Amino acid sequence: MKKIISLFLGKLAFILDRCRNKIVILYLRLRYPNCKITFSSYIENGCNIKCTTKSKLKIKNSIISKGTCIVADHGGNIEINDTFIGRNCVIVAREKITIAANCQIAEMVVIRDQNHKFNDSHLTIAEQGFTVSPIEIGDNVWLAAKSTILAGSVIGNNTVVGANAVVRGKLDCNSVYVGVPAKKVKIQS
């Protein structure tokens, strides 16, 4: 009897969680008209997802883990396709971030397409605004824990970025990159 009750409660919890997920997606789609999230995506509790006016956000068949912050801001566009995003990641676009299919993004990865300006010492950094440059992440890319992807970066298909690496610029396809700044250490076969 205990086994039957346990199975029933497990199935009930699963059904309630799936219902909660659909309600969250529906809420985001209603709150942000330019937010397109497929119901086949899964968003864990505790995520912060925003798509401000004139911005666009598209999440298709993806899993967004707890604590992750995704913000399309100031006209920025974010597109995430068939990807797993680990806990406590930050993805913020003022221009454009594209994440292609079959990517694995580990916990605490940061992807930002903007940098603060800081050249004028007569103004505060906040007053100087931003520079922006789009980011493209290809198919089947693994971004290991705590890696950082800076504005203007392009990561080729089938590439691995090691833990704590900082990516700036173009990374070749079928390669492994590690370090600060990220350097190629291996070509995948």
d(CA 151, CA 112): 6
The alpha carbon dihedral of 52, 55, 59, 64 has a sign of: negative
Asked whether the beta carbons of 89 and 131 are under 8 A apart, the reply is: no
Q: What is the pLDDT of residue 13?
A: 64
Rounding to the nearest 10 degrees, give the CA dihedral for residues 147, 153, 155, 156: -170
Contact predicate 75/55, CB 8 Å: yes
Beta strand pairing call for 183-187 and 175-178:
antiparallel
Are 102 and 82 in contact by the 8 Å Cβ rule? The answer is: yes
The CATH number for 48's domain is 2.160.10.10
Q: How many domains does the chain have?
A: 1
**91 is written with which tokens?**
């993805």
- With H, G, I as helix, E, B as strand and everything else as coil, classify residue 71: strand
Domain span holding position 65? 2-187
C-alpha torsion angle, residues 8, 12, 14, 17 (rounded to 10): -160
Please give the pLDDT value at position 11: 66
Hey, what amino acid is at 49? I
SS3 60: strand
Q: What are the helix and strand counts (H, E) for the chain?
A: 2, 23
pLDDT, one tens digit for every residue, the chain (189 residues): 677 767 666 666 666 677 788 888 888 998 999 999 999 999 998 999 999 989 999 999 999 999 999 999 999 999 999 999 999 999 999 999 999 999 999 999 999 999 888 888 888 888 888 889 999 999 999 999 999 999 999 999 999 999 999 999 999 999 999 999 999 997 766
- pLDDT given at position 117: 80
